[in-house]
Structure formats: structure tokens, C-alpha cells
Amino acid sequence: MALIAGNNGTLIIRKEGKTDIVDDGRANLRAVSWRRDSDVALITSNCFAEEFIPSPNLFTFDERKRVLSQVSEGRSDFIGTDWSPDGRDALVVGYDVVWHTGYIARYDDSGLHPIKFENDHVYPVAVSWDPTGRAAAIATSVAQPNSGQGRILLWNRTEFSEIYRSNEFFFSSLAWSPVGSKLAAIASTEARTFDS
């Protein structure tokens, strides 16, 4: 089964050669991450729909019930998410649309828990846990030229360390190899936070 998120609340289910649409979203849905050994996915979203109409920015989707449920609403656009390999928690990344500060949070069954990090004009757009669950990689982009840097950070559940920084390349996606020893990231000189 595949779950495909898109603009204007579009959520498409593709299963066994059939396509179905879930109509419960409002704003632009961005990323999907399935919780291991479950029928539940976490889905990120913009915090505004249409002409600045407040919208939930994080949802869960229960495949068995075919229900999209609101988890969070606030002034941050959430762009990327990834469940940890053990399924105990997920990371959610995005940025505050008012202050233009980056936002990284840990999500578990009790809700969102913001993680403190250097976030002024930092736009996290993608996150990926390594297969062991010891570290998560977080990639950043920019809102406009000369407004920030493309960076890759590692978070070890305690602190961040930077492994790459560029004034020229800005990221849109990243993923670990299945054995966790290598990380691949997609970057471009033209990538922008809002396009991710």
C-alpha cells in the first residue's frame, strides 16, 4: 500500500491496484511516515489553508479505519517527518511562519515535544532515522536566496552536530542506506523550503 500526500489536503491511497482519496485534509500535506508494525502513518502539513485559514499541521492516518485525525495545530509549517525504527517516537521538522525560525520536535503518543536547537533562519525540511535508531539526520533549505544555508545535522537524542554546510546547495530529501552506514541527500541550488 502507498499513501501519497499533496496540495489542498490531497491524500491518495493506492492499494492492490486500486486508488482511493481521503478528503479530511485542508492545507498542503507534505510528508508521510509509517509507524513500524502498525497501520498508522504520521502526516505533516502547512499550518494555513487558502487565504490564511488556520489548519492542523500534523495528522495521523489510520489505514484500517481510513481516518485522518488532527494531532497538532499551530503557527509552524511541518514539512518532514520520520518514525524511529522501534516505532516509539517520530521526529517532525518545519519552521515557524511568523518568526522564520526552524522547528524540530519529537512526537509520541502523548503529543509533540519541541527540541531546542539553533534555529534562526534555519528551515528544516527533511528528516531520516538511521536503521539503528541511534541518530537522525535533518536537512535544511532556504526560503529565498541568501537567507540561510543548506545544512545536514545529526541528532543523537541528546544534542545536534553539524556534518555538512553549504551556501550553494539546499536540501529537499535524505535517507540512510539499509545498513545505516551511509547517508544520501538530494540538494539543488534552486531548492526552496516552500517547494519541498
Digit-coded pLDDT (tens) for 1-42: 899 999 989 999 999 999 999 877 789 999 999 999 999 999
CA 51 vs CA 27, 48, 55, 155: distances in Å:
10, 8, 11, 35
C-alpha cell at 146: 541568501
- Domain-embedded: residue 57: yes
Where residue 45 falls (left for φ over 0; alpha for ψ -120 to 50; beta otherwise) is beta
141 close to 191: Cβ distance less than 8 angstroms:
yes
- Domain-embedded: residue 21: no
Strands (E), the chain: 2-5, 11-15, 18-22, 29-34, 40-45, 48-49, 53-54, 56-62, 67-73, 76-83, 90-96, 101-108, 111-114, 123-129, 136-141, 150-155, 160-166, 170-176, 183-188
Q: Please report the pLDDT score of residue 196 as a whole number.
A: 43
Buried b / exposed e over 67-81, threshold 16 CB at 10 Å, is: ebeebbebebbbbbb
- Domain-embedded: residue 7: no
- Domain-embedded: residue 35: yes
Q: How many domains does the chain have?
A: 1
- Average pLDDT over all residues of the chain: 92
What is the extent of the structural domain holding 82? 27-195
- Domain-embedded: residue 18: no
**pTM score, two decimals?**
0.93
- Domain-embedded: residue 19: no
- Domain-embedded: residue 136: yes
C-alpha cell at 101: 525560525
d(CA 189, CA 115): 28
152 close to 163: Cβ distance less than 8 angstroms:
yes
- Domain-embedded: residue 37: yes
Digit-coded pLDDT (tens) for 93-134: 999 998 889 999 999 999 999 999 988 888 999 999 999 999
DSSP, res 98: T
CATH number at residue 120: 2.130.10.10
Digit-coded pLDDT (tens) for 139-184: 999 988 777 889 999 999 999 999 999 999 999 999 999 987 899 9
